[in-house]
Amino acid sequence: MTSLARFGGTPVRTAPLPSVANADGRTIGREEIQAVEAVLQSGRLNRTMTPASRVAALEAGFAEWLGVPHVVASTSGTSALHLAVAAIDPNPGDEIIVTPITDFGSVIPIIAQNAVPVFADVDSVTWCIDPASVAANVTDRTRAIIAVHLFGQPADLDPLLAIARDNGIPLIEDCSQAYGATYHGRRVGTFGDIACFSLQQSKHITSGDGGLTATRDGALARRMRLFADKGWPRDGEIRTHLFYGVNYRMTELQGAVAGAQLAKLDDVIADRRHAGHLLTSLIEDLPGISIPALPGDGESVFWLFPVNVDAAKAGASVGELCAAIAMEGIPASAGYVTPLYLTPALAEGKTYGTSHFPFDSPYTTRSYTDYQPGLCPNAERMGSAMFTVPINERYTDDDVRDIAAAIRKVVTAYASGAVTAAHAAH
């Protein structure tokens, strides 16, 4: 017999968990409200016209927090990555290696700069980019590697840095989901040439949307600042435009909110780690599931909580487990995103008009028709090999215990064979 809610039993939980989509899962409070009010009262909402700019203060504060001298704020995580790619300044048709398991915002900037995304497969434990696959994809056209620290976990940086160094190309770290994650005890975002962060609603700190790009290299930082501001050197004597750029300027309103959020970041990280470690300790003994072991003595900051599944030992598919856990009142999602090269934008080369540019052009030998099923096998089997549950800094220990109880109830029922028998009788 089984008491699973899926088969008519009582669910573990009926109250919704605190969610990053709502105030109950965020840390937005009086500090943010006061900061925004002060900006509104000043009448200066644009950073370039504001002497004591909140955006400039955010950049300085984040540089100090990360321990990297230059930070440029922009309007989103996607724009933060666009600053990075534009600063590296690839020629049309140059290649940038990236993971297919990430938000499309990691890839959009490559196409926006008319370069070609080349997809490396992911590791089947952490689902971060696999250095061996990166090495296999390097060509004489490779201009950069983008490593995403997925779900709050560090990617395996030592071999990635070695590949970048051996080939004389920069490593861009996409830290959008991983503020404060560590590798060999050091914060991600301090290893590569450029680090990018998102301030979108679901991230560790948020201004609704927003982005931060960090680098130790003053010349790269200057290119980023110019690119985000129409190529306009505001320190010069005349108004001119030094190269093609866009307007990705963060507003003072976003800067005010993000600055107040930054002051809370260390607590957010500590609270997420507390919840993540508690959940790990409560379910790690279960049969057929495992919590990813991290490379480089890594420490996650738990953006999502990933659970790997050995379906044979678990006695159920990932889809079945997720459906049953959801019925217990805990949202669980199989896999993460469709590998990006299988989405229409890439698989059908939907870029500029009907041109498919830069694919199929004299600038590259690559075609969008290379983006076929089978390109990255681990990425493609992720949806049947793992699931995630949401986690955030506002979870109480009781919230975490409910999640653990739901997972334990479901996994134990399936692994013991009780479900099949009960299902047959149902």
What residues line the site for ligand PLP (CB under 6 A)? 76-78, 102-103, 105-106, 148, 174, 176-177, 198, 200, 209, 211
Secondary structure letter of residue 342 according to DSSP: G
Question: 381: part of which helix (H) or strand (E)?
Answer: helix 377-381
Select the residue whose beta carbon is closest to ligand PLP and give its number: 77
Q: What's the Cα-to-Cα distance from 101 to each of 355, 377, 381, rounded to whole Å? A: 26, 12, 11
Q: Which is nearer to ligand PLP, 210 or 245 (CB)?
A: 210
Residue 367 beta carbon to ligand PLP: minimum distance, rounded to whole angstroms: 25
Residue 305 beta carbon to ligand PLP: minimum distance, rounded to whole angstroms: 15
Residue 226 beta carbon to ligand PLP: minimum distance, rounded to whole angstroms: 21
Contact 279, 305 (CB under 8 A): yes
Q: Which residue has the tokens 């370069």?
A: 115
Residue 172 beta carbon to ligand PLP: minimum distance, rounded to whole angstroms: 11
Q: Which is nearer to ligand PLP, 76 or 300 (CB)?
A: 76
Q: Which is nearer to ligand PLP, 20 or 148 (CB)?
A: 148
**Spatial distance between the Cα atoms of 212 and 40, rounded to a whole number of angstroms:** 23
Q: What's the Cα-to-Cα distance from 134 to each of 39, 275, 298, 380, rounded to whole Å? A: 45, 33, 20, 17
Q: Which is nearer to ligand PLP, 142 or 206 (CB)?
A: 206
Q: What's the Cα-to-Cα distance from 298 to each of 99, 178, 182, 183, 412, rounded to whole Å? A: 19, 12, 5, 4, 29
Contact 75, 207 (CB under 8 A): no
Residue 101 beta carbon to ligand PLP: minimum distance, rounded to whole angstroms: 9
Structure tokens at 98: 């990236």
Q: Which is nearer to ligand PLP, 250 or 321 (CB)?
A: 250
Q: Which is nearer to ligand PLP, 4 or 146 (CB)?
A: 146
**Spatial distance between the Cα atoms of 140 and 337, rounded to a whole number of angstroms:** 30
**Spatial distance between the Cα atoms of 367 and 364, rounded to a whole number of angstroms:** 8
Q: Which is nearer to ligand PLP, 50 or 99 (CB)?
A: 99
Mapped onto helix, strand or coil, the DSSP state of residue 383 is helix
Residue 103 beta carbon to ligand PLP: minimum distance, rounded to whole angstroms: 3
Structure tokens at 316: 């159920």
